Amino acid sequence: MADLSVNFAGVYSPNPFWLASAPPTNTGEQIMRAFDMGWGGAVWKSLSDPIINVSSRLAGTDAGARRMAGLSNIELSTDRSLEVNFKEMREVKRRYPKHAVIASVMMPAERPLWVDLVKRTLDTGCDALELNFGCPHGMPERGMGAAIGQHPELAEQITSWVKEVSHVPVLVKLTPNVTDVAFVARAARDGGADALVLVNTITSIGGVDLDTFTPRPSVSGRSSRSGYCGPAIKPIALFQVSRVAQSGANLPISGIGGIETWRDAAEFILLGSTTVQVCTSVMHYGYRIIDDLCDGLSNYLDEKGLPNVDALCGLALPKIGAWEELDLNYKVVASIDQETCIGCGNCYVACRDGGHQAIIAARHEGRTRVEVDESRCVGCNLCSLICPVHDCITMEDRSPDLPPRSWRDVLAGKGKTAEVTDGT
């Protein structure tokens, strides 16, 4: 069987699956239960000056019958005393010496505050520090979280303050709420960061109650901007992880953002993550999902003939490039399997109203039959994505016998581009 253990910036973990800093890591008791169930590491809920959290903290975004495809929250850092958190962290590390215990810390941009909190936190025996430069709500008003992560110079400076006093690896958690996360990633590296963590939550409004006109979650009839997470943000997180992996920062990455299954985790690892952190799916289904994560990833590595997680890390990155590098001579068209088609008409409507009018519908032997006019099909994939029958509509290669030609080649006047007709 493949070896799931990882060494992340000098921190050993029995597997790459960590709990992210959030409600699932609020207490030592929770983290010990999670370790007993098989989680490899945990990032403690962010330590700072204890605050008073509001009541009514979460708002869910449903997608059809799927509950909580996205989750907005306005909960802040720990509301328990630092002394209690430190005591529990020491006990967890004493009982589970081979598991990764990471302390998340956050303070305003004042050197004495950071140095004091870091020194006190290091006394717990934690394996590493995670600097929370990402929280987009509540904490920025106090000069913390995204108020730091949105300013590369500030992120670099505070990272350097922590590195001066830390004897354990320093991980920097980045915010996605920036124009280009690569700038902050490189700034954290220049400040001495040992690894990067991303993404934190995305600034959001959790929805609006149409009867009371109050955004959600409602706190006595009012609300605030919130942090959005869960499966709905996975594509954004995947891009930002890949962006940092290709940015030249050259640091290990712990990926976060909508990870629910081993398949999700494998995608993050393929795009450059060494470990992955999980939050929303644990809040939805509990710590028990670790069985699927470990078994699924182990079986996948075995299937691919890869000995460990490191061998999988970053394999997809060479296949990401600029749009102008893509092959304009590559062409696919939709193909409908008439044996499995149920005649729902979804593809016809979608293509007619939102595509390129390449699907024809006609009565055939007492039923509506849909067929593809390949001369009009541009290979957009829409019909295959909305079809309710798995593999009923597939995309078939109809590329001409021409060498690859990119937009850069077109501008340079090189080669020949196949004529593409889409009916417009």
Is 32 within 8 Å of 70 (Cβ atoms)? no
Q: 377 is written with which tokens? A: 């099909």
- Measured CA to CA in angstroms, residue 266 lies from 28, 181, 298 at distances of 28, 22, 10
Give CA–CA dist 98/88, Å, rounded: 17
* 126 is known as an active-site residue: no
d(CA 131, CA 355): 46
| Catalytic member of 126, 135, 229, 387 | 135
CA distance 124 to 84: 11
Sign of CA dihedral 96, 160, 136, 49: positive
Query: What distance in Å separates the CA atoms of residue 179 and residue 404, rounded to the nearest whole number?
Result: 32
Q: Which amino acid is at 354?
A: G
Q: Strand pairing of 58-63 and 66-73?
A: antiparallel
Q: Residue 154: how many CB atoms within 10 A of its CB? A: 18
Integer Cα distance of 124 and 88 in angstroms: 9
CA gap 145, 147 in Å, rounded: 5
Instruction: Provide the annotated active-site residues.
Output: 135
